[in-house]
Structure 1
Amino acid sequence: MQVAWSLDGAETFVLEAIRSFATDRACPTPPADERWLDVASRAGVLSVVLDAVGRAGHPLPANASRSRYFGVTTQLRARAELAALIRALGPTTVRWVVLKGPILADIVYRRPAVRTYTDLDVLVHPHDLGEALDALEGAGFELVDRNWELVARSGRGEINLTIPNGGLLDLHWHVVNDGRARSQFSVDVRSMVSRRVTVDIDGLSVPTLDPVDTIVHLALHASLSGGHRALWLLDLQQAVLHGGCTVEELRERAQEMRTDLVVQVMLARAARYVDQRLEEWASDIRTRVSWTRLCEMVSGSAPPLGVRPGKHTGRLVFSATRATTGSSAAAVIRSAGQRGILMLRKPVTRETLHASDGTPADRALWIAGARLSE
């Protein structure tokens, strides 16, 4: 049985440190018990918290240099990964954008080496998926997900490849990976890619989503991933703070995509735990409905501090948020039922996706499915 969280000193400090970073206030003094390092790591915000602690003039733990070193090496690795990607896709007619990762680290966040990441996400126009896959493989990228029968049957919106220098690439033809969830929204990735903008990252011209689409995508990613990590909420807050779009533009785009409920739920959760200024944005996106209020109630007892055994995270509710209260409730029921089924049936895992299975016809079927998607 999972129970609501009763925050201890380390957890309270991490949440306060996140708020201080987000709102540019002085970070409180860290507790003597360095368990807060593990709490911050579980929530995905260790580099952020260390930055806030250091800027406030507090002494850093002896082992903090490892995290800062990781942040710097992440940026160096990203340059090589982006350069390899540009060399592979640049000469083609593929329409593509980079998501999250280096865009957040170098453009959205304003402090270097604070937003760390471990893989590179690329979204291609659905009509260009086959050409993109061929170009990447021709440039030395290698498939990780090789179970084409499973990929085609499930209609996945992404597959994984390794980058020649050893990193991981998530190749998306849609921003919603699960086919059933995808059908509940009206996210037109063709339009998202057509609205792309180009940003400069250390001399590299990198295409990415426009600021409004970036916020919608970050809200979708945070929600569908379970909403249980503070990093995702901070990403959203930083994009709103530094993106330059208006709440009116966001409301119009989110309503057009039928993602306004998702955006509202995640903005409200970010307002509670990261920056209360986002509450005005959450209120202006749409009228609050019963699902919003349910999520706010769940959010109050489930801080975004990652997964901790025996503690309620709210993942079941947040990941089920769809376009309406009715479709969200149906998704919760379906998800709860699937959890029971998975106890009796072998689940789909990374290992099953990585296993070689299927034929070239299955690969062609997956690519055709992307082209025919609405």
Structure 2
Amino acid sequence: MGARPTTVRRPLAQILLDSVAPEDRPGPPPAPLDDVRLELLADAAQDHRVLPAVAKHVAARPDCPEPWRGPLRRARDEQVVRHLSALAELAALGAALDRAGVPWAVAKGPAAAALWPAPDMREYYDLDMYVPREAFRAAVETLEDAGCTGVDRNWPLMVRERRAEYAMRGPLGVHLDLHWDIAVPHGLRRRFRTDPGAMIGRRRPVDLGGGRHVPTFDAVDSVLVLAFHAAQAGAGRLLWLVDVAGAVAACDGVRREVGGRAREMRLEAPVALVVDRAARVLGGPAREALHDTGLRPPRVLRGAAAALDRRHGFPDLPGDRHRGGRLYAGARPGAWGTATTLVADAVRDRRIERALRSGRPDAGEKALRLDVPDARAREDYLRFVDSGAG
């Protein structure tokens, strides 16, 4: 088993890590709670989407202040309610898709929660369902007939951006992202060779507890989906790293296939960087997994990411500025592709920030939720998905 990283962390950051790290991992004793305020701990935990896990860990400690126990218990109870609501929504919507003959798989959310020691430790608020591109129109119509409504309602923008995702709300109120590709922005699909149809074809059932089994991606594809998603979001949350470490651990026996399949889809650069960060931050079995997967992180980016973590510490805390997210989000096949993407992303981010400061309603992803009822644009978007064009 790998040794624990020696990076010195602030007590608050160490408590976050102690809450999600493998219990049998060697290391220093837990960080004391004496000088920690519950409000700051909750803010940091929510920032990393690990509040239920932190609540479980801290409440079990003998030095947990008695006034903390009520709020910590509520944090876990709230995730239990969200989890049960998501399972109920998933059961009804999955059954509707099954009746319509639409193949589907769920990822992240409840499927990732099954990788944690207890499902109520994994914080999530929505469902991510994946269908083959050619079945997307049927899936939308089926889900609408089942009571789902659109959250993304700016159809002209949907046509322009050609995103592989449609946000909906289920009849029970759970947010649902319906995907026809794991690479959501159009630009990503041009750089990577994702194969969502084959991935859905390899799906297998996962036990979500209580006798509930739903289809999710196979063990290898689950690593790719979770790590690729984490990379595109900057790999800055502990939640994502724990997901990836759990998915890699679940690949026992087929772990070597991770690197090969990642190279086939040209996903190796971002996936390897995220697996490397999970190994570096969490230690234990995750630290050995990088070699078992056969993944090869880009040397320069790996060194830069590790140097940032050593210098600024990880997990980050609210208010920290140096998160290094662009290194993960910008990783592309080849050094030139990565360099041009990093520059383009920096320019785009500054443009969006200026637009948001100016109060423009068409800035950022919230623009997709503007109500622009345009039946022709909606049909144009569905026709584009039907066409199979990039």
**What's the counterpart of residue 4 of structure 2?**
none
Gaps in structure 1 of 5+ consecutive residues? none
**What's the counterpart of residue 370 of structure 1?**
385
Q: How does 1:347-358 map to 2 (within 5 A)?
A: 348-357=363-372
Distance in 2, matches of 1:151 and 1:302, equals 38
Instruction: Please list the CA deviations of residues 28-63 of structure 1 after superposition, one character each: whole Å capped at 9, or x if unmatched.
Output: 254222333332222111222232334555536232
**SS in structure 1 at match of 2:99:** coil
Q: Indicate conservation of the 8 Å contact 1:27/1:56, yes or no.
A: no
Q: How does 1:182-261 map to 2 (within 5 A)?
A: 182-201=189-208, 202-261=210-269
* TM-score normalised by structure 1 residue count: 0.90
* AA of the residue aligned to 2:14: T
Shift of the 304–120 alpha-carbon distance from structure 1 to 2, 3 Å rule, reads farther
Match status 1:167 vs 2:182: no
Q: Indicate conservation of the 8 Å contact 1:155/1:178, yes or no.
A: yes
Q: What is the CA-CA distance between 1:90 and the residue it aligns to?
A: 1.9
Calculate the aligned-residue CA RMSD, in Å: 2.5
Identity of aligned residues (%): 28
Q: What is the CA-CA distance between 1:303 and the residue it aligns to?
A: 4.2
Work out which of the residue numbers 12, 15, 18 in structure 2 matches 1:16: 18
Distance in 1, matches of 2:313 and 2:163, equals 30
**What's the counterpart of residue 126 of structure 2?**
119
**What's the counterpart of residue 111 of structure 2?**
103
Instruction: Please list the CA deviations of residues 234-290 of structure 1 after superposition, one character each: whole Å capped at 9, or x if unmatched.
Output: 110111123435331111111111111112101111112112533433243126432
Q: How does 1:1-374 map to 2 (within 5 A)?
A: 7-21=9-23, 23=25, 28=30, 30-32=32-34, 33-34=36-37, 35-55=40-60, 57-59=62-64, 61-62=68-69, 63-105=71-113, 107-201=114-208, 202-283=210-291, 284-286=294-296, 288-305=298-315, 308-345=318-355, 346=360, 348-357=363-372, 359-371=374-386, 372-373=388-389
70-79 or 357-366: bigger deviation? 357-366
User: How many residues matched?
Assistant: 369
* AA of the residue aligned to 1:366: Y
Distance in 1, matches of 2:170 and 2:46, equals 26
* AA of the residue aligned to 1:218: L
Distance in 2, matches of 1:340 and 1:72, equals 39
* AA of the residue aligned to 1:126: R
**SS in structure 2 at match of 1:93:** coil
Distance in 2, matches of 1:103 and 1:302, equals 32
Distance in 2, matches of 1:302 and 1:183, equals 34
Distance in 2, matches of 1:288 and 1:315, equals 15
Q: Indicate conservation of the 8 Å contact 1:22/1:237, yes or no.
A: no
**SS in structure 2 at match of 1:108:** coil
Distance in 2, matches of 1:58 and 1:193, equals 47
Q: Indicate conservation of the 8 Å contact 1:146/1:356, yes or no.
A: yes
Shift of the 148–287 alpha-carbon distance from structure 1 to 2, 3 Å rule, reads closer
Shift of the 58–335 alpha-carbon distance from structure 1 to 2, 3 Å rule, reads same
* AA of the residue aligned to 1:298: L
Q: Indicate conservation of the 8 Å contact 1:29/1:58, yes or no.
A: no
**SS in structure 2 at match of 1:170:** strand
Q: Indicate conservation of the 8 Å contact 1:51/1:114, yes or no.
A: yes
Gaps in structure 2 of 5+ consecutive residues? 1-6
Distance in 2, matches of 1:37 and 1:22, equals 25
* TM-score normalised by structure 2 residue count: 0.86
